[in-house]
Amino acid sequence: MERSNPEGEPNSTVINASEGNDELNDDGVVNQEGSLVDEITDVMMTRNDELDLRHELPDHSGLGEEEIPAIGMRFDSLHLAHEFYASYAKKLGFVTKVRNTNFDKMRKDTKIPINQSLHCTREGYRESRVKAATRSNRITATRCKARMYVMLDRENECWVVSRVELRHSHPCSADKAVHYHEYPELTMHAKCVITDNDEAGIRPNKTYLALANEVGGSSNLSFSEKDVRNYITSNLRCSDDNADFNEMMNYFLRMKEINPNFFYAIDVDDANKFRSALWVDARCRASYEYYGDVVSFDTTYRRNRHGLPFASFVGVNHHGKSTLLGCALLGNEEIPSFEWVFTQWVRCIGTAPKGIITDQCKAMAGAIRKVLPDTVHRWCIWHIMKKTQFKLSGYARYGELSAMMNHIVYNSPSSESFEVDWAAFIKEFALGQNRWLADLYANRRKWVPIFFKSEFWAGMRSTQRSESMHAFYGGYLHCKSGLVQFVHEYDNVLGNKEQKELEDDAADSKGVIPCIGSTGIERQFQQEYTSNMFRNLQLEVRKKTDCVVRSTEQKGDTISIKVDEQKVFWGKPVYHTFIIQFDPLSRKSRCECNKFESVGILCCHILAIWSYYRVDTVSSCYVLPRWSKNVIRKHTYIKSSHDVARSNESHNLFRNLCSEFYNVAQEFVACEEEAAILRAVLLDAKSKLTDHRTLKVKTKGRPKGKRLGAELDKSIKKSMEKRKRKSQPDVVDLQTDNDCQGSVDNRFEDSTIWNSADGGGFMDLLNSFRHL
């Protein structure tokens, strides 16, 4: 920077852009951000300090205003002029507003602006008409006269700074300005963190604290917690119901585009309004081939603002853990809604399941009878037993009653023993008039385990697997959640379940669970079954020691064997006798407990007689592929769909670049010398990218368009001459002595252009100002 007087003006300050790292193109445009920005800012701040403006008291009646002349500065658009003045205002510590706009009187219909004044928001003076005791809004006006005038240059079709006043009548603080609500500035990093945390169910206040900790405290952030919440509301939520439905449809279409096997169905009423929806991911569809024999279906309480019940189809994978097979939002919990969901789900997966577990909903049962006639329907036993405390707690001997009922339901060795024990239970506690128990007994074949022991249920007795899935949703959703959040949380559930299954598969590939004993049967299952299912088998191996072979009886080619198993109930040993049919030639066995047929795991009774007859290996029919870790399953090659389009492309690119940089940075942070080299490389890369952006900057002004006409030219010239004559001593027009009688075009011949391609911000700040 140097002091010079190129136009013969006394005491003028000229900013030489050739100093430092910045260069000017042919049109005088600053091509590169560098030391010039800070240099110009320092000049501006110094000038304000000289005028004692930033610390001036509100009472400035005795101070004369001082005009700051400046070089005419050109902007491609009026919007860029606003950005320029706002950038300066933020740097100094005040807020701007548009005070006045004049339009072309010759073209009133088009409303073409020809000049505009930008003022400090604290200009003018206002007195509140509201009493001080009830007044809530602040009075901020202090007669501040800081402003900038811009006018339209007809010839070059750009906007030119005509006058500037820098004096403020109030203190300005750049440190405080970052906390003004007019200057919320969410960086791209902050937006990505907010989006990711919101998708993961992290509350906004925790997200704000995390961002504050990154920069050393909330005072170093340029936004508040309220800005975080506003960003979530405006960008990640759909407040309008129609927009919510449309966004859900867009999600389905994006998922269909990612993988054509993604399935969705929408049900609408006669007025074309949303009623129900069903969607199944491509990975879920493929996994149904292996885990779709038995499913749990359950609806949860309404966790969305539309009041739609949420339902899920859940199966059991080869690790014995829950896996998602489909989701639905129901218009209501009536038979037609359930019929539509079951029909669309079967249409998606191709074949109906062998068994389904639900609660005691009558509408659900009616829909299953119609749509899934060949599927065995079972009630959730957990729901039924949970109701005993509400239905029977009024009885005097409730403790004994509850314990005896649980024992009969869960431990009856046969259907005949259940019938006998239930009748004795009703008689002993005088429950013959209880209608709830009477209804349960009438439907006993839908919920008592002994009546299902000949059918495979993969160990499922209740809908708790579905409810655990709903609990996962419940951690992130609430009564005000929209449909878009539902489908995005569906992404989270899929990703979570997929990751758990991959981790379990990886653990099984690394090693095996050690055997309890040295039998060949245990070692055989050790090599075949997944770790979780092998542990279940080992429980039966341990219980084998409680079994004793009491008698054997030859019946043709098979041997009928009685085995006594000892159990402890209420601190007393109880013996149950089980009959096993054993074929010594084929070594096939069948126990009347039917554990293998219902759960898929050999019972301790069969293991006891095999040990009795010294059977070291078992037939392949007892090693179910469903629990095998050696089976290659198709769905493991399909990645669950994830809605990457939730964030815009720039955010996704930003995440990828940050991820790549983190991977590089973590390799060299241990050594200060290597870290310094990496930092130098980054600065060099930034410089090269800035040069690359410079090449995109136009070297000429805006192309000339249609002229506004001679009348407008005359009007502008007349207005400028009038302002010059009527100007106050503290406001001086920007034109120089050399062009005092020239045209508007000549007056701004040497001005600079602030182009959006230059990077915006504070690039050319005060390159247009010349200080007295």
Task: Work out how many domains the chain is built from and give that number.
Answer: 4
Please indicate, yes or no, if residue 459 is contained in any of the structural domains: yes
Q: Are residues 221 and 287 in the same domain?
A: no
Residues 532 and 618 in one domain: yes
Q: For residue 70, is it within any domain?
A: yes
* Domain-located, residue 317: yes
Q: Residue 195 falls within a domain, yes or no?
A: yes
Measure Cα distances from 309 to 52, 306, 328, 373, 637 in Å. Answer: 66, 9, 8, 24, 32
84 lies in the same domain as 152:
yes
- 228 and 246 together in one domain: no
CA 158 – CA 765 distance, rounded (Å): 17
More confident residue, 70 or 610: 610
Q: Does residue 292 lie in a domain region?
A: yes
Residues 360, 463 within the same domain? yes
Answer yes or no: is 348 within a domain: yes
Distances (CA, A) of 438 to 391, 433, 434, 452, 691: 12, 8, 6, 20, 85
Distance CA 408, CA 422 (A): 7
745: Cβ–Cβ under 8 A, 6 or more apart, which residues?
153, 155, 156
Q: What is the mean pLDDT of residues 446-457?
A: 88
Q: Which residue has the higher pLDDT, 226 or 354?
A: 354
Tell me, letter by letter, the H, E, C secondary structure of 476-531: CCCCCCCHHHHHHHHHHHHHHHHHHHHHHHHHHHHCCCCCCCCCHHHHHHHHHECH
Max CA-CA distance within the chain? 128
The verdict on 455 and 362 lying in the same domain is: yes
Which residue would you say has higher pLDDT here, 660 or 131? 660
Given the DSSP bridges, would you call strands 558-569 and 547-555 parallel, antiparallel or unpaired? antiparallel
- pLDDT higher than threshold 90 for residue 95: no
User: Which CATH number covers residue 341?
Assistant: 3.30.420.10
Q: Give tens-digit pLDDT for 412-426.
A: 878 888 999 999 999
Instruction: Please check whether residues 175 and 199 belong to one and the same domain.
Output: no
- The C-alpha angle with vertex 754 and arms to 706 and 690, in degrees rounded to 5, equals 130
Considering the domain architecture, whether residues 351 and 460 belong to the same structural domain is answered as yes
The dihedral formed by the CA atoms of 313, 314, 317 and 323, expressed in degrees to the nearest 10? 90
Please indicate, yes or no, if residue 415 is contained in any of the structural domains.
Answer: no
Highest mean pLDDT among 29-33, 400-404, 660-664: 400-404
The separation between the first and the last C-alpha atoms of the chain, rounded to the nearest angstrom, is: 15
d(CA 717, CA 732): 16
Rounded CA separation 708/107 (Å): 9
Distance CA 261, CA 254 (A): 12
Q: Answer yes or no: is pLDDT of 751 > 80.
A: no
Cβ-based neighbour number of residue 246 at 10 Å:
15
Same domain, 248 and 371: yes
Residues 361 and 247 in one domain: yes
Which residues constitute the domain of residue 229? 188-236
CA–centroid distance for 289 within its chain? 31
Residue 295 pLDDT more than 90?
A: yes
Residue after which a domain boundary falls, among 576, 603, 637: 637
Are 602 and 496 part of one and the same domain?
no
Q: How confident is the model at residue 647 (pLDDT cuts 50, 70, 90)?
A: low
SS3 for 376? strand
Predicted TM-score (pTM) of the model is 0.63
Q: How far apart are CA 501 and CA 637, in angstroms?
A: 12
Phi-psi region of 217 (alpha: psi -120 to 50; beta: other; left: phi over 0): left
Flag whether 763 is in a domain: no
Helix axes 78-92, 35-50, angle to 10 degrees: 60
The chain-wide mean pLDDT, for the chain, equals 75
Determine how β-strand 274-280 pairs with β-strand 322-329.
antiparallel
Q: Per-residue pLDDT tens for 604-645? A: 999 999 999 999 899 899 999 999 999 989 888 887 766 555
Final residue of a domain: which of 614, 637, 660? 637
**DSSP per residue, 132-151:** TTT--S---------EEEEE
Q: Convert the pLDDT of each residue in 338-391 to its tens digit.
A: 999 999 999 999 999 999 999 888 999 999 999 999 999 999 888 898 888 888
Domain ends where: 637, 655, 672?
637
Listed in sequence order, the residues at least 6 apart from 728 whose beta carbon sits closer than 8 Å to its beta carbon are 65
* Residue 173 sits in the same domain as residue 322: no
